Chain A
Amino acid sequence: MKRRDFLKWTAASSMGLALPVSLATLGRMAEAAQGPDLVVAKGASTPQVVRAALDAAGGMRRFIAKGDVVVLKPNIGWDRTPQYAATTNPDVVGALAKLCFEAGAKKVRVFDNTVSDARRCYKQSGIADAAAAAGAEMVYMDSRKYRDVRLNGTVLKSWPLYNDIFEADKVINIPIAKTHSLTTLTLAMKNWMGVMGGVRFRVHQRIDESLVDLCRVIKPTLTVLDAVRILTANGPTGGDLDDVKRLDTIVVGTDQVAIDSFGATLFGMKGSDLNTVKLAARAGLGVMDLSKLSIKRISV
């Protein structure tokens, strides 16, 4: 079902014109309403942790419908192997792709506009192999598919963004938690730089506002923060294993501001230490105050 169709459908049913809503749908809606805002799952086996985290969040079926075309957007920006924590853990991407297919997804596409050479990034990160093993399609960015998107933001009025994320039925953001000199950390919101075309490094001049502007139009169905390994210094490129800390943690939620706010705590900071999070919360894009969220912690 396309998002637009879904909106029409809900509008129609809420006006009381439609047929009685089926019991199953009601049950699912109730469950969704009751699901936790964030799930924080911890454990040694990454694929199992991802699966358990999604189960705790209400199951992948809560997010993915049968026949959906799903985009997975990991951070594959650099030519590094997984142990350096500069790119999203391939096991997380693989496990999510599998869960999407189990939930009935028709197609799962994986891509990122990389900084290092895309062939190397895809291969060396292990994500190309993990995606292939799960039956997902690894896509190299096609320069013809960036479209100017109106953002009407405080800084960015419009910007060329990768069209596939708007054409997909569902989008899952899969950032990895790393340090970054300008934004202090790079988490979920920063990961959307990976669908920007144009001279994207120019947004560094006002990066926090720019990222908030991006998140005004990019609304992922789900965000899965990879903190299996986090990069604590020399980010976002890394390269030194001494800077890598193993947390074996996965954070799942639908509110990317909340995810980023929680992500800050993994580095001993607060969400309010991150300008992007503060501005995004102020713009009403999500919740920064973790005390206002229901956070479910599980161990696998």
Chain B
Amino acid sequence: MVTRTRRIVQGLFLALFLFLFIQTESKGLDELGYPVKLFLDFDPLIFLTTLLASRAVEGLFWLSLIIVALTVILGRFFCGWVCPLGTLNNMVGSLRKKRAKPPGPGWFRLKYYILVFILASSVFGAQLAGIADPISLTIRSFSLAIYPALSYAATSFFDGIYRLNLPVVTPASEILYDVLKKTVLPFQQPWFLQGVFIGALFLVVLGLNLVQRRFWCRFLCPLGALLGLLSRYAVLRREVSEECDSCGACVAPCQADAVPAGKEKWRASECLVCNNCDDVCPKNAVSFGFLKGHPTGGLDLGRRNVLSSFLLGAFAVPLLRISPLSRPRMADAKLIRPPGALGEPKFLQTCVRCGECMKVCITGGLQPTLLEAGLEGIWTPVMVPRIGFCEFRCTLCGQVCPTGAIKRLPLEEKQEVRLGHAAIDKGRCLPYAHATPCIVCEETCPTPKKAIWIEEVTVRDREGNTVRLQQPNVDLTKCIGCGACEKHCPVADQPAIYVTSAGESRSEENQLLLQAPAVAPFPHK
């Protein structure tokens, strides 16, 4: 009945989510061909907090207002029918046979306090929603942990069979591997710092379903709380007829804390519109319909609790900002942001840590921070050139960023944006320190007029022999800090040429030159 329809719809949305996730990968062109950030575009929590924190509407997704409008009419259908994390929670929850008793009658209120905390901090200019927003959380966890781990498992499995070189089995597994590589597996194995941490957190979220089904949705999810507030007076409501004899059959199947047996006390804000209570009612006394009036079951959040949450959220902002990194003229050398990233304060207010840019980064160089940008900047993207550099003709990260924290730039502009500058470690560089030819950095430098230029020198080696050598130099007026040189430098472990953030276009202060080279005029702040 409705339950089956709902499961099909949930499956379809989860499939769409996964399809878009897998499409968040380059196929060699500079466009992806699919609206891969669609779920984020429809997310009202991201919309609201970004609006509050950055006070900018550019790059915002008015599509989420559709969800707002629908929620006001239909209630939390998004949680019950659409949300991919909700569906995953359902799936994991079904592993638990018996339904547990709720840990306490008031736990469902916790998510509202979390929401108030997040909203308060965004009012005062910190964007923390992305950490707990279910869409952000799911995309980030999939991108940086779950998918890489699955890819690793699959690759190890097929490599194992390949090495065994068995008759029939190995050729068959290679065909299957090839099909998987062309469909669901990534083009190359993704490697992410903190994959374990982010993956473990996600597994905890899923594992909580074994404590209580949809634990996350019922007690923790801030988006669920926001939609709950919006659906308090939803027009689509539950009605219980006179037939009801309070048998309590609907209590257990309820996916949340809507108190279906309470009739009058039914909480619209907690109802996921799953229709389980309707399906299960032996008297067929329950029905959902468009009704007048207001539901009577309240939230009873408690003024003091709401105020405490608000104050805590507000105070979190200065507490997070007393890191020395927040001081003027302080910049972390290794905090190399993606091309088109806004100035650091604005960037932190806008980035929702969804991980889309890291997923799409063609070289895998974009990595999640831990504390490099302060606790406030946790899981924001940082380029680690030794892992992967910024491909000169790629603009994908700006295309998939849902909030404009990384601006979508035309290729010509992106190619002028400086992420930082390269510097040569003459103590390690082969032509400087060891009278040995190299010039790989110059060779791989992608700017049309190479930023790395060669000086021909004659030096003497230990034996006194004359050696003609080419020594690399960095032209700061040309270097965009893409990191191709650092990535390819053959000096093992610590490279002899490396990029630091000094010179980055997005900062006026973090510059090396008196007159920093001009870039295409676009607002970095």
Tell me whether B162 and A79 are in contact (CB under 8 A).
no
Contacts between the two chains (Cβ within 8 Å), count: 85
For the complex, give the distance between the alpha carbons of A228 and B436 in Å. 35
Alpha-carbon separation in the docked complex, A239 to B447 (Å) = 7
B437 CB–A CB distance under 8 Å:
yes
B27 adjacent to A119 (CB under 8 Å): yes
Which positions 56-81 of chain A face chain B at CB distance < 8 Å?
78-80
Contact of B470 among A181, A234, A238 (CB under 8 A): A181
Quick check: is B392 within 8 A (CB to CB) of the other chain? yes
CB-CB under 8 A from A154, the residues of chain B are none
Residues 115-148 of A, flagged 1 when their CB comes within 8 A of B and 0 if not, give 1110111111000100000000000100010000
Instruction: Determine the residue in chain A with the shortest Cβ distance to B442.
Output: A181
A266 contacts the other chain (CB 8 A): no
Q: How far is the CA of A205 from the CA of B26 in the complex (A)?
A: 34
Check A181–B454 contact: CB distance below 8 A.
yes
B residues in contact with A123, CB < 8 Å:
27-29
- In angstroms, Cα B442 to Cα A80, docked, is 17
Write the nearest CB–CB distance from A97 to chain B, whole angstroms.
19
A8 to chain B, nearest CB (A): 27
Rounded to whole Å, the gap between the CB of A143 and the closest CB of chain B is 9
Select which of A128, A182, A199 is within 8 A of B28 by beta carbon: A128
Residues of A within 8 A of B55 (CB): none
Q: How far is the CB of B181 from chain A (nearest CB, A)?
A: 9
B391 / chain A contacts, CB cutoff of 8 Å: 79, 116-117, 120
B27 touching A204, Cβ below 8 Å: no
A201 at the interface (CB under 8 A from B): yes
Query: Does B294 touch A at the CB level, under 8 Å?
Result: no
CB-based contact B447/A205 at 8 Å: no
Q: A119-B362, A120-B391 are in contact. Are A205 and B443 (CB under 8 A)?
A: no
A285 beta carbon closer than 8 Å to chain B: no
**Are A144 and B443 in contact, CB atoms less than 8 angstroms apart?**
no
Is B438 among interface residues, defined by CB-CB distance under 8 A? yes
Which residue of B27, B28, B488, B489 has the most chain A CB atoms within 10 A of its CB atom? B28
Q: Are A117 and B437 in contact (CB under 8 A)?
A: no
Q: Does B98 contact A (CB under 8 A)?
A: no
Q: Contacts A117-B391, A239-B447 given; indicate if A205 touches B362 (C-beta within 8 A).
A: no
Residue A292 at the chain B interface, CB threshold 8 Å: no
B449 touches A204 (CB 8 A): no
- Indicate if the CB atoms of B438 and A205 lie closer than 8 Å: yes
- Chain B residues with CB below 8 A from A121, complex form: 28
**Which residues from chain A contact B430 at a C-beta distance below 8 Å?**
205
CA distance A234 to B187 in the complex (A): 30
A120-B362 in contact (CB<8A): yes
Closest to A206 in B: B437
Q: Which residues of B contact A204 (CB under 8 A)?
A: 437-440, 443, 490
Q: How far is the CA of A286 from the CA of B438 in the complex (A)?
A: 27
Cα–Cα, bound, A115→B445 (Å):
11
Q: How far is the CB of B389 from chain A (nearest CB, A)?
A: 9
Q: Are A120 and B28 also in contact (CB < 8 A) when A182-B439, A205-B430, A236-B443 are? A: yes
For the complex, what is the distance from the CA of A128 to the CA of B447, rounded to whole Å?
24
Residues in chain A near residue B173, CB distance under 8 A? none
Q: Give Cα distance in the complex from A243 to B443, angstroms.
A: 15
Contact among A78, A117, A207, A238 for B363, CB-based, below 8 A: A117
Interface residue? B263 (CB, 8 A): no
Contacts A180-B443, A199-B492, A240-B448 supplied; 20 other A-B pairs, CB < 8 Å: A80-B393, A115-B444, A115-B488, A116-B391, A117-B391, A120-B28, A120-B362, A124-B393, A181-B443, A182-B443, A199-B490, A201-B490, A204-B437, A204-B438, A204-B439, A205-B430, A205-B438, A237-B443, A237-B444, A239-B447
Lowest 6 A-B CB distances belong to which pairs? A123-B28, A239-B448, A240-B448, A119-B28, A201-B490, A201-B440
